[in-house]
């Protein structure tokens, strides 16, 4: 009886420690702040669809995190989401004609903003807006387009099959009429 009680308590503590470790890891991953030693500057971008992008998401260039998404708001005059990004001042040589895209890390991973460098001699500074953007790819939209394309192909193949049968039938009747 005593050994059973000890095993139950040990198992319970092990499970509680596992949940505590999981909770700690989740809070560390989602609340990571940009370590800014020398300050930062803000830039914005307007997207028609941000998918599931969240404040705190990474902003990266060539796979290197250069900043974080500071806030997301909605501009009712242009009907777009405004993403404000805080870039570390160590990365102050990002060309002003760079483009921003909302990307997904891995198959089921979170979304982040990926910046691709442009070729301008001028660089982004605080308050600038990235003009060239690519919206998030929403899986549901892609599936709907795929289904619509298959339905369109099925309709056109069944219509062309009916047209071929009618033509063949017409030729047969014409040949029969000649005889």
Q: Do 58 and 89 form a contact (C-beta atoms < 8 A)? A: no
Same domain, yes or no: 45 and 109: yes
73 band by pLDDT with thresholds 50, 70 and 90 = very high
Cα–Cα distance between 86 and 117 in angstroms, integer? 17
Same domain, yes or no: 76 and 9: no
SS3 of 132, please? strand
pLDDT of residue 64 exceeding 80, the answer is yes
Same domain, yes or no: 51 and 108: yes
171 band by pLDDT with thresholds 50, 70 and 90 = very low
Same domain, yes or no: 72 and 97: yes
Tell me if 178 is assigned to some domain: no
Same domain, yes or no: 123 and 46: yes
Whether the pTM exceeds 0.75: the reply is: no
Cα–Cα distance between 56 and 71 in angstroms, integer? 8
Q: What is the pLDDT of residues 88-126, one digit of tens each?
A: 999 999 999 999 999 988 766 789 999 999 999 999 999
Structural domains counted in the chain: 3
Tell me if 176 is assigned to some domain: no
Half-sphere exposure of 26 (CA within 13 A, CB side): 6
Domain that holds residue 2: 1-31
Same domain, yes or no: 26 and 39: no
Q: Average model confidence (pLDDT) for the chain?
A: 82
């Amino acid at each position: 009886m005593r050994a059973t009680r000890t095993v139950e308590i040990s198992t319970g503590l092990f499970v509680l420690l596992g949940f505590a470790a999981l909770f700690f890891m989740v809070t560390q991953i989602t609340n990571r702040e940009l370590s800014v030693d020398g300050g930062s500057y803000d830039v914005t971008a307007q997207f028609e669809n941000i998918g599931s992008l969240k404040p705190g998401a990474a902003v990266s260039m060539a796979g290197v995190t250069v900043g974080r998404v500071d806030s997301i708001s909605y501009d009712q005059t242009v009907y777009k989401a405004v993403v404000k990004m805080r870039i570390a001042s160590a990365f102050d040589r990002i060309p002003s004609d760079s483009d921003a895209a909302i990307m997904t890390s891995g198959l089921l991973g979170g979304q982040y903003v990926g910046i691709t460098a442009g070729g301008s001699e001028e660089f982004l500074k605080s308050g600038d807006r990235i003009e060239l953007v690519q919206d998030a790819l929403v899986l549901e939209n892609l599936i709907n387009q795929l289904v619509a394309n298959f339905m369109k192909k099925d309709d056109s193949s069944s219509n062309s099959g009916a047209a071929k049968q009618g033509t063949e039938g017409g030729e047969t009747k014409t040949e029969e009429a000649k005889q």
